Chain A
Amino acid sequence: MKQSLLRYLPLLLLAAIWELVARLELVSSTALPPLSDVIAAWIDMIKDGELTSNGASSLYRAGAGLALSVIVGTALGIGMAWWKPVNVLLAPMVEIFYPLPKSALIPVTVIWLGFGDGSKILLIFLGCMLPVTVGAFNGARSSEQVLVWSARSMGANRLRMLWDVVLPSAMPELLNGIRTALALSFILLVSSELIVAQKGFGYLIGFLGANGTYDAMYAVVFTVAFLGFAADRVYQMFVQRMLLWRQ
């Protein structure tokens, strides 16, 4: 406890400087409302449910898009590593779409599915799928030949081998790809909601900013930032448990 307090002391220091600078009016209080005001605004928004209802719809979009991308992306990546024809068909497309700045898809998903949940879920699904695909592909491709051979000599059929040998050995790189996808899903969620939405964190940030209630806007911004950070930490703990068998 004391150790982690010492470790995160610089962050507390920054928070203290923020409060001090704002209270002494060194910068205008519209540009930087005091931290205590921001915290008060946050508590108000939790109480009247504004933050939780918008947050719930954001998390639903991110979760649904991410889940789809993990399922489809893993299947595509392992398929590409396992069957050459799939590879020949898909690898060039992956190579072309992988460097595409995913944010460019925002207007297209709006054209296809409108302003609601659907377009955000599609955007997050499309944007997050390729990192997962590439991770699964690299992992499955590098599964050790010795393991594949011995499984085969022990009479495992192809499907069995896929499940028992290839998937586990693809796991570390796959999980790494999913971590990239997780970070990307927050970026895409917030930017698409900032641009077009009727609810969600991004919408709330834009709305509060346009209204000039900056302390509340700061509160939402930091809530999103914290959620992104917390999601990554929780995911890393999950990964550590998943990979325990690898020592």
Chain B
Amino acid sequence: MAAIDQAPAPPALRILRSTLWAGARLVSIALLLTAWELVARSGIVTPFQLPALSAVLERIWNDAASGDLAINTSVTLYRAMVGFFIAAVGGVVLGMAMSRSAAARWFFDPIISVGFPMPKIAFLPVVILWLGVFDISKITMIVFDAIFPVVAATVIAIQGVERELIWSARNMGAGQRELLWQIVLPAALPTIMTGLQVALPLSLIVAVVTEMLMGGYGLGGAMMTASRFANSTGVFAGIVEIAVVGYALVKAMALIRRRLLIWHQESQNFPSP
């Protein structure tokens, strides 16, 4: 909105201005962290309600030094990523099957459209009942949650591929396999990526919840243990650790998207937000 008030500025001035705004953004984060430390030390809240940032950082440092942090992070990441990859591959395959075969569409379409908006997490006790409390049930739960956005996005993406592209490729003698790999999948990729970008944070959410409920190793399990012992520094350390992991995953996914879609209009029209 504010952009319309500004006359177009010369390049040097524009760079200066954007650096200033970027600096202001860092200040905002610094303000948040300082406010945390100050409020925690001021005595308005008890250390149980809000441990000081410095105490939380110290705790994270200790976790890192003892190796717990590395174990918990890798266990959580392992579960989330395995679940995510199974959901990604399975979702794309299922989505493609649904757009190619009428029988597959007839069978799966109502299941997807009913299952997508359901809170799948409610099925967790059922999955525990069937598969126990170990990795397999956690990963199953992640796949179960993350696959729906991928399937839905793939179906929409393939429907949206321009007919002309397919016709002309066929006209030039492309076989079914070439058509799929060289025309349909690349053209559908942006929308499929959007589905994957929904599925990835979902995988992490479900990984953390299942760990909280079943205990054991993992960032969510560690947080729950800290919470049981009323160790609020541990709980807040867990939040910071999980936030960092989530941020890194989402950023990495955005980077992969930009890399994969470098040929696509979206990368050319919007250099960077």
Chain A interface extent, by class: 35 or more
- Given A31-B129, A233-B117, answer yes or no on A88-B25 (Cβ-Cβ < 8 Å): yes
The size class of the interface chain B forms with chain A is: 35 or more
In the complex, the chain A residue whose C-beta lies closest to that of B235 is: A107
| B residues in contact with A224, CB < 8 Å | 119, 122
Q: Within 8 Å CB of A81, what residues of B? A: 1
Q: Answer whether A190 and B242 are a contact pair too, CB < 8 Å, given A84-B2, A104-B208.
A: no
Q: How far is the CA of A195 from the CA of B250 in the complex (A)?
A: 26
Decide yes or no: A190 and B117 within 8 Å by CB, A92-B26, A99-B247, A111-B48 being known contacts. Answer: no
Tell whether A116 is near chain B: CB-to-CB under 8 Å: no
B28–A104 CB distance below 8 A:
no
Chain A proximity of B53: nearest CB distance (Å) = 14
B residues 220-251 touching A (CB-CB < 8 Å): 220, 223-224, 226-227, 232, 235-236, 238-239, 242-243, 246-247, 249-251
Check B256 for interface membership: any CB of A closer than 8 A: no
Query: Which chain A residue lies CB-closest to B107?
Result: A10
Q: For window 1-19 of chain A, which residues contact chain B by CB distance below 8 Å? A: 7-11, 14
B205 touches A187 (CB 8 A): yes
Look across to chain B and name the residue whose beta carbon is closest to the beta carbon of A191. Answer: B209
Which residues from 125 to 140 on chain B have a C-beta closer than 8 Å to any C-beta of chain A?
A: 125-126, 128-130
Tell whether B262 is near chain A: CB-to-CB under 8 Å: no
* Inter-chain contact A221/B223, CB cutoff 8 Å: no
B213 at the interface (CB under 8 A from A): yes
- Which of these, B120, B129, B232, contacts A111 with CB under 8 Å? B232
Supposing A82-B1, A93-B32, A205-B125 touch, asked if A108 and B236 sit within 8 A by C-beta, the answer is: yes
Residues from chain A with a CB closer than 8 A to the CB of B235 are 107-108, 111
B28 touches A228 (CB 8 A): no
Q: Are A8 and B110 in contact, with the CB atoms below 8 A? A: yes
Q: Which residues of A contact B206 (CB under 8 A)?
A: 103
Complex: chain A residue closest to B212, CB-CB: A195
B109 shortest CB reach to chain A, Å: 8
A141 at the interface (CB under 8 A from B): yes
Task: Give A residues with C-beta under 8 Å from B.
Answer: 7-11, 14, 30-31, 81-84, 88-93, 96-108, 110-112, 140-141, 145, 148-149, 166, 183, 186-187, 189-191, 194-195, 201-202, 205-206, 209, 214, 217-218, 220-221, 224-226, 228-229, 231-233
A191-B124, A225-B123 are known; give 11 further A-B pairs, CB within 8 A: A11-B110, A100-B243, A103-B206, A108-B235, A186-B119, A191-B209, A209-B129, A220-B122, A221-B123, A224-B119, A229-B114
